[in-house]
Amino acid sequence: MAEVLVFHHSCGLTPGVREFAEALGRAGHTVHVPDLYEGRVFGTLEEGAAHAQEIGFGTIIERGKAFAEKLPADVVYAGFSLGVLPAQMLAQTRTGAKGALLMEACVPVTEFGDGWPQGVPVEVHGMDKDEFFAGEGDLEAARALVETAADAELFLYPGDRHLFADPGLPSYDEQAAALLRERVLAFLDRVR
């Protein structure tokens, strides 16, 4: 089975993120879920985003990198929204990555190097009308990634919710979240 490193979204390490990780674990995967906020959890996207800006995106990426250094190199990096920053950076720059799951965010590959590494499969998941994913350039970055990477796929879900996979948040979409989990598990079975 795969070893997976899951990075939380801007609300922090919520029960919903833990539940997602536990579902992967029940499927037989080894899952690590670091707390990039050092115990802070926020009830709204706005509060969490303000905290992320306060501590700095570079700090968040560095905390993710420091945690990853304790693990073997052949890991699948997964991130939700803000957590995509360390997940994508590690998938692009850490030799030996098994794959990447970028959920509700994607940055241009030039942010972390010259391109997507050969032999590293990647999936990007997001809602087609999400104001942050579709409206702030992430969808375009995901499409460019899929066009240039050898093993990449973009999954768009109908809707306008951000953080749709976290059952503890008002933005939760049960149907889309279930399909996301199904696709993630299929990806992990393929790359293990």
Query: pLDDT for 7-36, tens place per residue?
Result: 999 999 999 999 999 999 999 999 999 999
Sign of CA dihedral 38, 142, 179, 128: positive
- The whole-model pTM stands at 0.97
Q: What is the CATH number of the domain that holds 38?
A: 3.40.50.1820
Q: In this structure, how many other beta carbons lie within 10 angstroms of the beta carbon of residue 7?
A: 31
Interval 46-83: pLDDT, tens: 999 999 999 999 999 999 999 999 999 999 999 999 99
Range of the domain at 165: 3-191
* CA proximity to 180, closest of 137, 140, 144, 133: 133
Sign of CA dihedral 6, 11, 15, 16: negative
- Total domains in the chain come to 1
